[in-house]
Structure 1
Amino acid sequence: MTKKILYVIDGLEFGGGERVFAQIINGLPEDRFETFLATATNAAIQRSITARNCSFFPIDFSNRCNALNLLKLAGIIKNQQVDIVHGQGARAEFYARLAARISGRKKYVSSVAMPVEGYDVGAFRGFFYRVLDRFSERFVDCFLVVSSALERDMIQTHGVAAKKVVKIYNGIETDHYNPDAQEEGRRGIRREFSVNEREILIGSLGRMVWQKGFEYFVRGIPAILQEIPEAKFMLVGEGPLRRDMENLSVSLNIRDQLVFTGYRSDIRDMLSAMDVVVIPSVLEGFPMITLEVMAMEKPIVATAIDGIAEQIENGKEGLLVAPQNPQEIVQAVKRLLNDPDYARLLGANARTKVIREFSVQKMITQTIDVYEKLCRR
């Protein structure tokens, strides 16, 4: 019998959570699952859904307190005879968890990509989110976490029973992120941003928020330029700290060497243009960008924080450095640039690992297993 799954996410941005939900919805066998998506009106995630049997329901999650959301979700669950509700994000999940509860105790799956304690939303809203999250956790049948660190956090800090926590790593499309198809993209991006083939391009990608640690990458640029004056640098992404990063580059007298691209959807081509990629994050769950860089066989310097340390083994698939440490970033970048054979070996190892451990199909298969076990209870 076909099982009906309702996915609930605010969709106010197209981040890792939205991308994972799109991957799952598109990858579920249509003869076994019917899917529904409750998200913001005209959310970007809708444009990523290719599954023919997915129905959309607009929900306004931009308002912090809206009882209509609870009633709408409960109505969807009842009218569509939903078997499992799968949610992500503190704001959307509070409504979804309660709606599943009042709609006849439907099975509920919660995806946790980052602990609510790590949300960058200010002290008052952060406290509010934590209270709502802890209150509604009792209505969750299974927590899907993306790293061992989050698994420990849910069990030890949140007090969730170990049997209710399942670790499933994020996956990416390794056929799309393929180094064999990067030459055209490399030439196009370098031409667009006036970087010639002789110049070394070192880049970093992500939303410009404090968790991504771009400040520490930017602060390391002058030291790299002292040894490699022909190097160019690129920051790909948009966010509230972009102006701060631009001002920092001016104060360090490196503005002409650092390109700010703004938001880009052509991440594969952006990576193709780069010779080394730096991921200077301070806080992450299990970042997709790391997997994309690894799949493209790009030499990578990343911080040794929870999540990333499960993706990269230092010295095998990339170089790990201490967070918030520009000096270590500089030394690691120089090491890769001074030893191109070693850099290529790390890149090749990284792609092999992604194909083996972090494929989309593996993630989908494991998620289906969770759904089927819940339905048998």
Structure 2
Amino acid sequence: MNILYLNNSVHLGGDTKCILKLCKELKHSNKVIMASNGGSLINEFEKMGIKHYKIKPVSSINIFSMIFNIILIIKIVKKESIDIIHSHHRMTTLMSKIASKFVKVKVVHTQHLCIENKFFLTRLTLNNIKTITVSEGAKEILKRKCKLNEKNITTIYNTIELECKNKEVDLKLLELKEKGFFLVAQVSRIIDYKGVYDFVDVAESTVKNNKDIRFLLIGEGEESENLKKYIKQGNLEEYVYVLGSKDNVIEHLKYIDLVLLCSHIEGLPLVPLEAFSERVPVIATNIEGTKEEIVDGENGFLVEPKNIEVFTEKINDIFNNKELYNSLKENAYKIFKEKFDVDRYIAEHVALYNKVLYSE
């Protein structure tokens, strides 16, 4: 089949990683095309030989950009004989839906986040569109808040890319590991809803009584400079380090002892899966999506959002209990293999594509 993957941008985020994985696994037996406004990972698609078309940004509604993009999508579908458009952004899905009225093509959407607003626009966009949700939590929101038909929604848990050619690891991380510190990391964009300030607060609370632990933030974002100021104000520069974004997170996780995820909202975050693949336990917020990855007490712990005290308590429990830590590590890998295997991920996508193309 001929597939067009469509997204607003291709950045260092979970949605782009999912598209990259689909392209890598499906390009050998299918024609795969990509369209986006570009981004930091565009070279990764080019390395795979994936043709890329550039659309105009869709994050803010601009009628002229929308018209341009709709016309471009129609042209791509005709030129490349596209059978199915798989969109990973609500606005690109809306534009694809409109384009499908003028050209014969099927549209599939992946909902990556458990949305908290814009329910009407989401319903308008996704009504009668086959939709993939990355968690049962996201599916429930589309059913209850957006009033979408359950028969059009399928949950497919994410997977991750385990292979990584770039083996270079941040020197600060290696230095801290060599000194024997217990390393706790959060890997995320540095934006408010990822709970990055909570992460710093957890670090401050923890190191008051344990000087053998260091905290690392791997990522960047609009709050990067403000967060560095926050760390400095708390006199935490010796304990909390912002390492910036990395295109080889898996390689860095090989040196990490524990991962935190302090997010306030997620879909099905990839970082816990990456951590589990390296036998690294995760302490994360008890929110939709994330709680489907973590079995409390088996491969990590779930903590209510913003509960700094309990995050600190769980870190200390793991640090002080070798038997508990080893058990969490082994269960992390076991659950990863059982629930988030790449073969399952690809097979479920292909099955859905075939259903959309041939069963309607």
TM-score by length of 1: 0.87
RMSD of equivalent CA atoms: 2.3
- 1:64 pairs with one of 51, 55, 61: 61
Alignment partner of 1:36 is 2:33: yes
Task: For 2:306 and 2:159, locate their aligned partners in 1 and report how far apart those are by CA, in whole Å.
Answer: 27
Q: Report the structure, 1 or 2, having the larger helix content.
A: 1
- How many angstroms does 1:107 deviate by? 1.4
Change (3 A) 1:158 1:282: same
Give the AA of the match of 1:7.
Answer: Y
Residue ranges of structure 1 left out of the alignment (5+ in a row): 119-126, 178-183
Change (3 A) 1:15 1:45: farther
Alignment partner of 1:168 is 2:175: no
- 2:217 pairs with one of 212, 222, 235: 235
Number of residue pairs matched by the alignment: 354
- 2:127 pairs with one of 132, 135, 138: 138
Task: For 1:333 and 1:237, locate their aligned partners in 2 and report how far apart those are by CA, in whole Å.
Answer: 21
Q: Which secondary structure state, in structure 2, belongs to the residue aligned with residue 35 of structure 1?
A: strand
Change (3 A) 1:238 1:186: closer
Contact kept? 1:318, 1:346, Cα under 8 Å: yes
- How many angstroms does 1:90 deviate by? 2.2
Contact kept? 1:174, 1:355, Cα under 8 Å: no
Q: Which residue of 2 aligns with 1:190?
A: 173
Q: Which residue of 2 aligns with 1:200?
A: 182
Task: For 1:187 and 1:107, locate their aligned partners in 2 and report how far apart those are by CA, in whole Å.
Answer: 44
Contact kept? 1:10, 1:61, Cα under 8 Å: yes
* Misfit runs of 4+, over 6 Å: 184-187
Contact kept? 1:112, 1:145, Cα under 8 Å: yes
Contact kept? 1:204, 1:235, Cα under 8 Å: yes
Change (3 A) 1:115 1:310: closer
Give the AA of the match of 1:280.
Answer: C
Task: For 1:37 and 1:187, locate their aligned partners in 2 and report how far apart those are by CA, in whole Å.
Answer: 31
Q: Which secondary structure state, in structure 2, belongs to the residue aligned with residue 256 of structure 1?
A: coil
% identical aligned pairs: 21
Task: For 2:116 and 2:101, locate their aligned partners in 1 and report how far apart those are by CA, in whole Å.
Answer: 24
- How many angstroms does 1:49 deviate by? 5.7
Contact kept? 1:145, 1:167, Cα under 8 Å: yes
Q: Which residue of 2 aligns with 1:110?
A: 109
- How many angstroms does 1:21 deviate by? 1.1
Q: Which residue of 2 aligns with 1:359?
A: 341
Change (3 A) 1:14 1:92: farther
Task: For 2:43 and 2:357, locate their aligned partners in 1 and report how far apart those are by CA, in whole Å.
Answer: 27
- How many angstroms does 1:41 deviate by? 4.2
Change (3 A) 1:210 1:286: same
Task: For 1:315 and 1:17, locate their aligned partners in 2 and report how far apart those are by CA, in whole Å.
Answer: 28
- 2:137 pairs with one of 136, 145, 149: 149
Task: For 1:173 and 1:265, locate their aligned partners in 2 and report how far apart those are by CA, in whole Å.
Answer: 11
Alignment partner of 1:19 is 2:17: yes
Task: For 2:224 and 2:171, locate their aligned partners in 1 and report how far apart those are by CA, in whole Å.
Answer: 24
Change (3 A) 1:255 1:188: closer
- How many angstroms does 1:137 deviate by? 2.1
Contact kept? 1:5, 1:83, Cα under 8 Å: yes
Task: For 2:206 and 2:39, locate their aligned partners in 1 and report how far apart those are by CA, in whole Å.
Answer: 43
Residue ranges of structure 2 left out of the alignment (5+ in a row): none
- 1:326 pairs with one of 288, 293, 308: 308
Contact kept? 2:135, 2:292, Cα under 8 Å: yes
Contact kept? 1:169, 1:286, Cα under 8 Å: yes
Q: Which residue of 1 aligns with 2:101?
A: 101
Task: For 1:302 and 1:273, locate their aligned partners in 2 and report how far apart those are by CA, in whole Å.
Answer: 19
Contact kept? 1:171, 1:361, Cα under 8 Å: no
Q: Which residue of 2 aligns with 1:219?
A: 201
Q: Deviations over 1:315-362 (max 9, x none)?
A: 011111111111111000000000122112111111111112102221
